[in-house]
Amino acid sequence: MKYLNLICLSILTFWLSPANLPFADVDTLCRIAEAQRDVSYVGVRLKTIGTSNGTRTMEVLVIHKSAEHSYRKVLSIVGEKQPVEREQGRGTHEKNRRRRSRNRDRARKLGEWERNRSQFSKKEIELLSQNYQLELEHLSDKTLNYETALLAIKPKLPGRPAKYITFARKNGVILEVKDLDSEGTLREMFAYTRLSFDPEVVQTQWQKYQNEIHVAPRRSQPISYENANALLNGKLVLPAYLPAGFQLLELRWIKDRERAIHLTYTDGLLGFSIFETIGSRMRGDRRGKKIDIGGTTLYRHKRGHEDVFIWSRADIVFFLYGAVPSPEKLKVVKSIITRDVKEK
């Protein structure tokens, strides 16, 4: 937490200069990030997710006792809706197969505890302050009897998403979040319907559920560039091209695969991932459209709304996906292939 405060202080020193003061409220963003770690609460929220398969709304129980003990589980599926054109274009067999698959996924997820991820890491706060415009507005309406404010995170560059955070003014805890894509379409949101900061209520709920909270350890762990490169026999390749404002967020070693590295890149809000794995089998089984770049064949197919790119070189399988526009992802792919060829 001390390091987070130092990060926020250094960012604020820049933004609070006369030239930058009207364009950001980084102090508010830092306060929200700290509240998500330090303030204990328990509540129920409705979460809606939009995908290529339609929308799903879930009722989710959240217990945040501390930064180390923060969990959630889906209590029920409130509603689902599929695009009309998708349903009309399917045969009866295909509809039934997809319905059974959704039901299996729903049964698996219901009642399954998961860890809560912090909304913003230190690095993400730093990048948000550089790449997005932050606007603070005090709201007149109360939410769950709490006085609220709205932090709007708006892109400075075209083709980037936006985020709107409604939070309690008394402590900075998030009450509602809306995520919009670059076209202004709502892709995901959540809003609390019940929420308590009372320490006794939090402790009571924690005692009620703590014995049933069994969360599997993360499948990956942070790794340095040097160790990641050694794990891939010196064949780790970083992209020579990144979209404007993007930086490497972290490298992680995927523990259940002996030699697989996950690279995450972000501009603070938007992100994409690259997996580099020793092996010959490509995920996706070479389905999708073939593209040739400098003698390397890559395959592009859809995963939800997004294009995924898969290719293989020198016993390394590459897998790239994320919400970045496909032309930008393709530039990243080309830069990896070109750099890989030049270094051989």
Round to whole Å and give the CA distance between 130 and 46.
31
> What's the confidence (pLDDT) of residue 3?
47
pTM, entire model: 0.84
> What's the confidence (pLDDT) of residue 306?
87
> What's the confidence (pLDDT) of residue 18?
42
Model pLDDT for residues 38-60, shown as the tens digit of each residue: 999 999 999 999 866 778 999 99
* Residues with Cβ within 8 Å of residue 174, at least 6 apart in sequence: 32, 35, 36, 119, 165, 166, 167
What residue type is assigned to position 125 of the chain?
Answer: I
Q: Which numeric CATH code is attached to 220-342? A: 3.30.200.100
> What's the confidence (pLDDT) of residue 227?
96
> What's the confidence (pLDDT) of residue 20?
44
**What parts of the chain have a pLDDT lower than 70?**
1-24, 51-52, 83-109, 280-286, 340-344
Round to whole Å and give the CA distance between 69 and 44.
17
Model pLDDT for residues 250-304, shown as the tens digit of each residue: 999 998 777 899 999 999 999 999 999 998 666 555 678 899 998 999 999 888 7
Residue 301 backbone class (left: φ over 0; alpha: ψ -120 to 50; beta: rest):
beta
> What's the confidence (pLDDT) of residue 280?
63
Round to whole Å and give the CA distance between 332 and 327.
9
* CATH class as words, domain 2-212: mainly beta
Q: Torsion angle of alpha carbons 115, 116, 120, 121, nearest 10°?
A: -20
Q: Where are the domains of the chain?
A: 2-212, 220-342
